[in-house]
Amino acid sequence: MSDKKHLMVIDAHCGDGELQVGAIAAKYAKAGHKVTFLHLTAGEKGNPPHLSVEEYREQKIRESEEACAILGAECITLDYKDAELRLTEEIVTHLATLLRKYRPNLVLTHWINSIHSDHATVPKIVEAAQLKTGLSGFDLGGLKPHYYGYLHSENWEDMEGYVPDIFVDVTETFDLYLEAISKFWFVMNSKDFRYFDYYKALGTVRGCQNRTRYAQTLKFPVGGNIRKGTEIPGFPL
C-alpha cells in the first residue's frame, strides 16, 4: 500500500488557503503527496474599481491556478457566491459528494471564529460534510463512504481564540510560497491590508517560536484529541 496521502485545503475564497497553508501544501507536494485546493467561492465581491465582479472572479480563478501550479497542487473553484455562503443541506451534500470522489486523508480549513461570515461558515460546512461523507447510510451517487480528519489553519481575519497546536517547519518551501501568493492582485495591491508583508512576517514569527527559520501553524478542532507538536499526526513526511 502506498504511503502517499491526499491533503485537501477547503476555504471560502481563492487566495485564503494559499495564504494560510501554501508553504505546508508545497512541502507535502514536494514530498510526493497529492495536494488539492478547493475554493467554495472565488472571492469576487472584493473587486477593484477597474474590474466587474465577474471579471474579477475570472481573474481570481486564474491567479489561484497559477499559485497552485507553483505550489505543486491541483486547484478547484466552485460556483457559490462570495459573501453569501450559508450552512445548508444542499452545500453540505455537494461537498460530501466531492469528498467521496476525491477521498482526501486530511482537510485543512478556516478556524471557527472570524470577522468574515464566509470564513466562519466554511468549517461548519466541513464538519457537517464529514458525517455525510463517512456514513454509509447516505447514498451520494453510489460513491463509497470515506472518512477524513480536519484541522484549522491561520488567517488574520480568523484570530479570535486561535492558539496554534502544530508548528510545521516550512523553511524549505517558504520562497515558493511567497512566489505563489504574489500571483494574487489583492495580496500585492490591497490598500486595506498589507497581505504580503503580514504573511511573510507571520511565517517569520511562527518560525521564531518553532526555532526554525519559517513555520506555518494548524489547530485541532474544539474538543478534539489535541497533540501539540511539529508534525501533523497520521500525516508523516
* Model pLDDT for residues 2-48, shown as the tens digit of each residue: 689 999 999 999 999 999 999 999 999 999 999 999 999 999 999 99
Separation of alpha carbons 219 and 164, rounded Å: 5
Q: 195-210 and 174-181 helices cross at what angle (nearest 10)?
A: 160
Amino acid symbol at 24: I
Residue 187, pLDDT > 80, answer: yes
pLDDT at site 209 = 98
CB 53 within 8 A of CB 170: no
Q: Cell numbers at residue 132, please?
A: 455525510
CB 44 within 8 A of CB 53: yes
pTM (two decimals): 0.97
Residue 131 burial (CB count, 10 A): 13
CB 55 within 8 A of CB 48: no
Q: Cell numbers at residue 30, please?
A: 514536494
CB 188 within 8 A of CB 233: no
* Three-class DSSP category at 46: helix
CB 35 within 8 A of CB 72: yes
Query: Which tens digit of pLDDT belongs to each residue from 197-213?
Result: 999 999 999 999 999 99
Structurally, what CATH architecture does the domain formed by 6-219 represent?
3-Layer(aba) Sandwich (3.40)
Nearest to 134 by CA among 95, 171, 89: 95
pLDDT at site 184 = 98
pLDDT at site 2 = 64
Mean pLDDT of the chain: 96
Query: Which tens digit of pLDDT belongs to each residue from 210-223?
Result: 999 999 999 999 98
